[in-house]
Amino acid sequence: MRALVLLICLTMLCRYSLAGELQWPFPLEPDALSIVGKRFALGSARPLGTQEDVSRIRAAVAGKKSSTHVNEIHWLSPTLVVAAGTDGPYQVFWPVAKKSGKWEVLMEYNRHHPI
pLDDT in tens, 8-56: 554 554 444 433 467 999 998 989 999 999 999 999 999 999 999 999 9
Does 18 reside within a domain? no
Residue 2 within any structural domain of the chain: no
pTM, two decimal places: 0.78
Q: How many domains does the chain have?
A: 1
Residue 1 falls within a domain, yes or no? no
Burial 8-22 (b: 16+ CB within 10 A, else e): eeeebeeeeeeeeeb
In a domain, 93, yes or no: yes
Q: Does 5 fall in a domain? A: no
Does residue 14 fall inside a structural domain?
Answer: no
User: In which element (H, E) is residue 92 found?
Assistant: strand 90-99
